[in-house]
Structures are given as structure tokens and as C-alpha cells.
Amino acid sequence: MFDKRLNKVVNFLKKNSNNGLSITELVKVSKLSRHVILIALAKLEGANRVHIREVGMAKIYFLKEEVCYFSRR
């Protein structure tokens, strides 16, 4: 059940990849509780999937781009 919520947060971060989103903005657009958003962002941070930029007291979250490495033979 939490995976659906985590995917919802990831999708909103993908849609706003240029500007990033604060926790308050994520709560507004996703209609999830602040606590759920904090847990999802902590999991994404632990998995090294988000980049965080601090602006004053706010933290702006950006989803890191997936990098694919192809080996040439």
C-alpha cells in the first residue's frame, strides 16, 4: 500500500523536475498527509534518488535523473 503512495510522490517529482517541490507543495498536489510525504522522501533520500536544495528554511526536492550506461562492444 505504501508503494502506491511512494510512486505518487515520485510521479509528482518527475512532473516538476525543473523547479522541484517543497514538502508543503507536495502535500498540496498529492493530497497525502505531511507524515506520509516525509516518509516517502526519507526513503527516496536513502535510496539516493532525490537531490535536496535548501532555500532558506525550505528544502526543495528534485528527482535525480536515471543514468543508463551502455557498454559498446
Q: pTM of the entire structure?
A: 0.82
Number of domains in the chain: 1
pLDDT in tens, 17-71: 889 999 999 999 999 999 999 999 999 999 999 999 999 999 999 998 765 445 5
The residues, any chain, with a CB within 8 Å of residue 23's CB and separated by 6 or more, are 34, 37, 38, 41, 58, 59, 61
Domain range for 28: 2-63
CATH code for the domain of 29: 1.10.10.10
- 69 in a structural domain: no
Closest CA to 42 of 25, 57, 55, 59: 59
What angle do helix axes 2-15 and 23-30 make, rounded to 10 degrees? 110
Determine which helix (DSSP H) or strand (DSSP E) holds 43, and give its type and residue range: helix 34-46
- 72 in a structural domain: no
